């Protein structure tokens, strides 16, 4: 479970998704999204060069008609995203 001011993210096994959703709804929470997703256990922080290549690859994969979702274990730092022109 992770949380910030407006959002709580709960990770559970796929088999428990509906039970967790029901429990949160019964507790008064509004569910913004509930889905089964691939979540990496080992994240990597690519350097600026590799991050740019990875971002291009992810973007190209996402643009393919046959691709519905793209998953990655890359954890891009704010500095790397800013260098790529994607930071805040």
Q: What pTM value is reported for the model?
A: 0.57
Q: Where are the domains of the chain?
A: 1-37, 48-83
60 against 37, higher pLDDT: 60
Q: Which residue, 87, 70, 67, is CA-closest to 79?
A: 87
DSSP 15: G
- 36-55 per-position pLDDT tens digit: 888 888 999 998 888 889 99
Residue 8's pLDDT is 82
Residue 57's pLDDT is 94
- CB within 8 Å of 84: residues ≥ 6 apart: 48, 51, 52, 55, 76
């Amino acid at each position: 479970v992770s949380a910030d001011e407006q959002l709580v993210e709960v990770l559970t096994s796929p088999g428990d998704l509906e039970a967790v959703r029901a429990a949160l709804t019964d507790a008064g929470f509004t569910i913004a999204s509930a889905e089964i997703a691939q979540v990496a256990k080992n994240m990597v922080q690519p350097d600026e060069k590799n991050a740019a290549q990875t971002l291009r690859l992810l973007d190209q994969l996402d643009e393919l008609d046959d691709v519905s979702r793209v998953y990655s274990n890359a954890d891009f730092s704010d500095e790397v995203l800013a260098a790529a022109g994607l930071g805040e």
